[in-house]
Copies of this chain bind each other. A is one copy, B any other.
Amino acid sequence: MDTKQRILDEALTLFSQKGYANVYVNDIAEKVGIKAPSLYKHYKNKKAIFDAIIEEMNNRFAIQAKNLNIIGNDPAADARIYESLSEEEMIKLGFDLFEYYIHDDYVKRFRKMLTIEQFHNKELADTYTKLYVDDPLLYQGLLLGQVVSSGGLSTENVDIMTLHFFAPIYMLLTMCDRNPEREPEAFKILESHIRQFNKLYSRKRKEV
């Protein structure tokens, strides 16, 4: 990887750990293995490094949008698969999704950086909400909507059903970002969550 890219990479790591203001260009340079003034051969100033990270992220938006939902980018096709999943397979799917969110390095570092910087300007706030709230709800809503249509699950309000599926995942995710030592616990809760979600929304259940 060339220096210019490595700068972004190391900077992202540091920003995600300490936040923009607590990272000194010297720290970044050190990680890259060069001296601070050499950074300026690649970026105009510190802010430009941050902006480049955001921009690189913007470039990955499309990819991200798909990856964030691992399953694929064709909800209808996914739903056909999903419909035929056993509870165990569904849990496996949830685990894979969660695992990706938690351990994919780029995704994780970027999310932590956004978490720290989200209040600095409206654009970052909007980006955070889009990436970690709106997009997952949108996509998973489409997916679950298909499953409902095909009779795999049953509900009066797919959006709220989606919220019920995703909100616990979101909460566990942010907890693990903060307390990685609680990951095993999070996985257990995740499993119970999916099982209970399944039962609650199963078409086998209905009102008396």
B156 touches A196 (CB 8 A): yes
B157 touches A164 (CB 8 A): no
How many A residues touch the partner, as a band?
35 or more
Question: Does A139 reach chain B (CB closer than 8 Å)?
Answer: no
Secondary structure of the A contact surface, majority rule: helix
B206 touches A175 (CB 8 A): no
Q: Which of B125, B156, B177, B205 contacts A207 (CB 8 A)?
A: B205
Please give me the residue from chain B that is nearest to A163 by CB atom: B168
Binding site for B on A (CB under 8 A): 16-19, 21-22, 112, 115-116, 118-120, 125-126, 128-129, 133, 155-157, 159-161, 163-164, 166-168, 170-171, 174-175, 177-179, 182, 189, 192-193, 196-197, 199-201, 204-208
